[in-house]
A and B are shown apart, each in its own frame.
Chain A
Amino acid sequence: MSAPTTVVSLKIDGKDVSGRADETILDVASENKIHIPTLCFLEGLSGWGACRLCLVEIKGSHKLLSACVTKVAEGMEVTTDSPRLLKYRRMVVQLLFAERNHVCSVCVSNGHCELQNLAQVLGITHIDIPYRYPTLPFDASHDLFRLDHNRCVLCTRCVRVCDEIEGAHTLDVMGRGIDCRVIIDLNEPWGSSQTCTTCGKCVRVCPTGALTRKGTGVAEMEKDDQFLPYLTRMRGSQS
């Protein structure tokens, strides 16, 4: 017999909804077709709470909380959309654009990029924040894949999928603050990695053009991360 499930009722954007106590605000919102923008979140991976796009207002709390990691609670009153939240979300996306060298017109992921989509959805027509134009390396040493730091947003989806789903933990992050960078093993060229299984999951979950498959044109570089919920579910049913 499975443990009893605690069910709670709450309000999201004024709508009465129900949820299991182990669900996040984002889970319950998507069940109810309430859209909250996300970037570092990906169904099937552990919550990370780092991009701050899914911040929501909760009545009684003076702090904004990320919907992807905050569990629902009885009587909670959540606001997912307000002028203030929209302003902050726009700034997050702008900060990301200004951080590295995101030039959509020459990007292999143009048209299939989650950062680009976010900018469109949030109505960002230009970037008010000065571009930083850092000089960043590019790793094309792997037979099949490329890692372009210029287009990385440090969402760590690749790091998490490699560790949690593939179990290889080839990818991780080094450095601090603005100097953070996704690395292969102990900062080695991808092509010489002994741990990479060449499964390609990292490429499939990458929201931007930072991780791409070689030999694909702009129109073909469609990311497909729908395998993830399936894999997680199947693994869960095995254990």
Chain B
Amino acid sequence: MTAEELETIAQEEREACGRKKHHLHVCMAAGCLSSCSDRVKDALEAQVKAAGLEEHCQVKPVGCMGLCAAGPLVSVADQNVMYKEVTPDDAADIVGALKTQQPVQRLHCRMDVPFFARQKKIVLENCGVIDPERIEEYIAAGGYTALHQALTSMNTAEVIAEVSRSGLRGRGGAGYPTGLKWSMVAKAGGATKYVICNADEGDPGAFMDRSVLESDPHRVLEGMAIAAYAVGASRGYIYVRAEYPLAVKRLKIAIRQAEKQGLLGHNIFGTPLSFEIDIRLGAGAYVCGEETALIASIEGERGQPRPRPPFPAESGLWGAPTLINNVETFANIPPIIRQGGQWYAAIGTEKSKGTKTFALAGKVNNTGLIEVPMGITLREIIYDMGGGIPDGKKFKAVQTGGPSGGCIPEQFLDMPVDYDSLVKVGSIMGSGGMIIMDETSSMVDVARYFMEFCMTESCGKCVPCRVGTVQMHDLLTKIIDRKATVRDLALLEELCDMVRNTSLCGLGQNAPNAVLSTLRYFRNEYDELLVEDDAEPALADAGAKENAS
């Protein structure tokens, strides 16, 4: 593959596309597929054929368009029209409307609403636009030019400098500066190094990485290849959970296509860079999203974390220096190389640059996937873009960061969304799950739900997480059952502090967050459930005393 060949593919693809007058895009990502968008696509194809428009109209499967709540989604790209909740029976009307240029009113989904208008798409720029199963479309959209540019006109230090300049921070949740991580792996000694893409997205209500992998898999491959060049790795792994079969399928297709075009494999673009990518499937353990557990899992060991230091940058997969980044982090790399770190750094806030994807879920009118510049307020996301709370209910809290995150109450709705602000109010950015809760949710229930999640997902290696989460869960259940006293609540708080400070990995360290943040802002809900202290607990203690001695 050369730059000319890349350009030829892009040219041909654009010409083929230009020959068609109409472009019907049907979302074929998991959300819309689950409401049978594949049958909508078949029906549209049949109608196009029946209307004799095959020469002029293309029906294309594309990735996620974002507004998952209103799926299946179909867009008429040439007329900038989107249709929502399309059924196969609507196909005739949609095809009929192509000629009149008058959108079908009953299906029309306005694109000028804040949900779409307020977004800034960098990671998701190709989602819902290109066919994720065709490399030609990715190339026509400018794909793999960043890899070419990095390999042929930049040295490794320049690539890392560009990433550092962008201010990009890890999108998996912790927000570690990406450029710094890359430079550490680049400087680490050793002939063998690895690049790993963490696609073990497991937070309840989070589907950002899933959408990227299902809608634009080549972007992640390109980001990984650029990283491999920068740090000096020749082998990469994508660790993706087996619960994402469509993402796995599309990744496999993408890897095969990239290998065939010489964009992965030996001597990419005629340079000395050789880079191969393999897929490893996660077997359903949430903790394997923790980097050291993920590495253990790839090695074929039990998926359990290891103490850090040493960090993977120094000693990771099979003891070799290893770069681990999240799907969204890698997806940000090609545009950063293409348009420069300066351009990226101009978006967002001082300490949180660029954009972030969020998966809106829970009690909000527009559930779906959005990409917004950092620094946008929670109120803008929930009320303007999300369309507020359904059924006229009152907002109560928003949970960010998954089981490791916390609940943010109404008084912080005008706070900017960035890494540091979220930590200040007791939550974290996390990977981008955002669960909105209305007045009907009990915050103690919410805390127990997340504690139950952590308890069942604990690997069982370290004592605080293995036993502490169970004890905290039991105490929360006792509170909900109205059997707990002030002393139980005090013990719960003590356990929260202990588990947070003594657990081996992030899962245990962050497990108490849901309890701590709800205690901080909704303590009255706990207090209301407590009962008067009586003599019984003292007896129970006496029994335990005998056992121990």
Write the residues of chain A forming the contact surface with B, with a CB cutoff of 8 angstroms. 47, 49-52, 55, 64-66, 69-71, 87-88, 91-92, 95-99, 102-105, 119, 124-132, 153-154, 172-173, 175-180
Excluding A95-B464, A177-B465, A178-B469, 10 further A-B contacts by CB distance (< 8 Å) are A51-B462, A52-B462, A65-B307, A66-B307, A88-B502, A96-B467, A176-B285, A177-B466, A180-B459, A180-B466
Which residues of chain A are within 8 angstroms of B285 by Cβ–Cβ distance? 176
Q: Closest CB-CB distance, B10 to chain A, in whole Å?
A: 48
| B474 interface residue per 8 A CB criterion | yes
| B460 interface residue per 8 A CB criterion | yes
A97 to B545, CA, bound (A): 11
Residue contacts A-B, CB under 8 angstroms, 23 given = A49-B504, A50-B504, A52-B464, A52-B503, A52-B504, A71-B309, A88-B501, A88-B502, A96-B467, A98-B471, A99-B463, A105-B546, A125-B549, A127-B541, A127-B548, A128-B541, A132-B474, A172-B302, A173-B302, A177-B460, A178-B460, A178-B469, A180-B460
Q: Closest CB-CB distance, B503 to chain A, in whole Å?
A: 7
A92 to B547, CA, bound (A): 17
Which residues of chain B are within 8 angstroms of A119 by Cβ–Cβ distance? 548
Query: Is the contact region of chain B dominated by helix, strand, or loop, or is it mixed?
Result: helix
Which residues of chain B are within 8 angstroms of A177 by Cβ–Cβ distance? 455-460, 465-466, 469-470
Tell me whether A173 and B462 are in contact in the complex, defined as CB-CB below 8 angstroms, given that A64-B501, A95-B467, A95-B468 are known contacts: no
Q: What 0/1 readout, one digit per residue, does chain B (478-504) give for beta carbons within 8 Å of chain A?
A: 000000000000010011001001111
Complex contact A129–B471 (CB within 8 A): yes
Complex contact B544–A178 (CB within 8 A): no
Complex contact A70–B307 (CB within 8 A): yes
B286 (CB) vs chain A CBs: closest residue? A176
A96 to B471, CA, bound (A): 11
Complex contact A50–B463 (CB within 8 A): yes
A103 (CB) vs chain B CBs: closest residue? B547
Complex contact B545–A126 (CB within 8 A): yes
A97 to B463, CA, bound (A): 11
Complex contact B462–A127 (CB within 8 A): no
| B540 interface residue per 8 A CB criterion | yes
Query: Which interface residue of A47, A91, A98 has the most chain B CB atoms within 10 A?
Result: A91
Q: Closest CB-CB distance, A186 to chain B, in whole Å?
A: 14
A180 to B541, CA, bound (A): 27
B491 (CB) vs chain A CBs: closest residue? A128
Which residues of chain B are within 8 angstroms of A175 by Cβ–Cβ distance? 460
Which residues of chain A are within 8 angstroms of B19 by Cβ–Cβ distance? none
Complex contact B463–A51 (CB within 8 A): yes
| B20 interface residue per 8 A CB criterion | no
Complex contact A47–B464 (CB within 8 A): no
Complex contact B309–A70 (CB within 8 A): yes
Complex contact B504–A127 (CB within 8 A): no
The 3 residue pairs across chains A and B that have the minimum distance between CB atoms = A180-B460, A177-B458, A126-B545
Q: Closest CB-CB distance, A131 to chain B, in whole Å?
A: 6
Tell me whether A92 and B548 are in contact in the complex, defined as CB-CB below 8 angstroms, given that A49-B306, A49-B307, A130-B540 are known contacts: no
Complex contact B467–A99 (CB within 8 A): yes
Which residues of chain A are within 8 angstroms of B546 by Cβ–Cβ distance? 105
| B461 interface residue per 8 A CB criterion | yes
Q: What 0/1 readout, one digit per residue, does chain B (521-549) give for beta carbons within 8 Å of chain A?
A: 00000000000000000001101111111
Write the residues of chain B forming the contact surface with A, with a CB cutoff of 8 angstroms. 285, 302, 306-307, 309, 455-471, 474, 491, 494-495, 498, 501-504, 540-541, 543-549
A178 (CB) vs chain B CBs: closest residue? B470
Q: Closest CB-CB distance, B504 to chain A, in whole Å?
A: 6
Which residues of chain B are within 8 angstroms of A102 by Cβ–Cβ distance? 547-548
Complex contact A178–B307 (CB within 8 A): no
Which residues of chain B are within 8 angstroms of A47 by Cβ–Cβ distance? 307
A104 to B548, CA, bound (A): 6
Q: Closest CB-CB distance, A187 to chain B, in whole Å?
A: 14
Complex contact A131–B547 (CB within 8 A): yes
Complex contact A104–B460 (CB within 8 A): no
B462 (CB) vs chain A CBs: closest residue? A50
Complex contact A69–B548 (CB within 8 A): no
Tell me whether A178 and B547 are in contact in the complex, defined as CB-CB below 8 angstroms, given that A52-B503, A55-B502, A70-B307 are known contacts: no
B537 (CB) vs chain A CBs: closest residue? A130
A172 to B541, CA, bound (A): 35
A178 to B463, CA, bound (A): 9
Complex contact A130–B463 (CB within 8 A): no
Residue from A64, A69, A178 in contact with B502 in the complex, judged by beta carbons closer than 8 Å? A64
Complex contact A176–B459 (CB within 8 A): yes
Which residues of chain B are within 8 angstroms of A132 by Cβ–Cβ distance? 470, 474
Q: Closest CB-CB distance, B36 to chain A, in whole Å?
A: 35
Complex contact B545–A91 (CB within 8 A): no
B503 (CB) vs chain A CBs: closest residue? A52
Which residues of chain A are within 8 angstroms of B503 by Cβ–Cβ distance? 52
Which residues of chain A are within 8 angstroms of B465 by Cβ–Cβ distance? 177
B306 (CB) vs chain A CBs: closest residue? A49
Residue from A66, A88, A124, A173 in contact with B548 in the complex, judged by beta carbons closer than 8 Å? A124
A66 to B546, CA, bound (A): 31
Which residues of chain B are within 8 angstroms of A95 by Cβ–Cβ distance? 463-464, 467-468, 471
A172 to B302, CA, bound (A): 10
Complex contact B471–A69 (CB within 8 A): no
Tell me whether A69 and B544 are in contact in the complex, defined as CB-CB below 8 angstroms, given that A52-B462, A52-B502, A173-B302 are known contacts: no
Which residues of chain B are within 8 angstroms of A105 by Cβ–Cβ distance? 546, 549
B478 (CB) vs chain A CBs: closest residue? A130
A180 to B460, CA, bound (A): 6
Which residues of chain A are within 8 angstroms of B498 by Cβ–Cβ distance? 87-88, 91-92
B285 (CB) vs chain A CBs: closest residue? A176
Which residues of chain A are within 8 angstroms of B456 by Cβ–Cβ distance? 176-177
Complex contact B545–A176 (CB within 8 A): no
A126 (CB) vs chain B CBs: closest residue? B545
Q: Closest CB-CB distance, A211 to chain B, in whole Å?
A: 18
Which residues of chain A are within 8 angstroms of B467 by Cβ–Cβ distance? 95-96, 98-99, 178
A151 to B2, CA, bound (A): 66
Which residues of chain B are within 8 angstroms of A71 by Cβ–Cβ distance? 309
Residue from B458, B494, B543 in contact with A91 in the complex, judged by beta carbons closer than 8 Å? B494
Complex contact A52–B466 (CB within 8 A): no
Query: Which interface residue of A95, A176, A178, A179 has the most chain B CB atoms within 10 A?
Result: A176
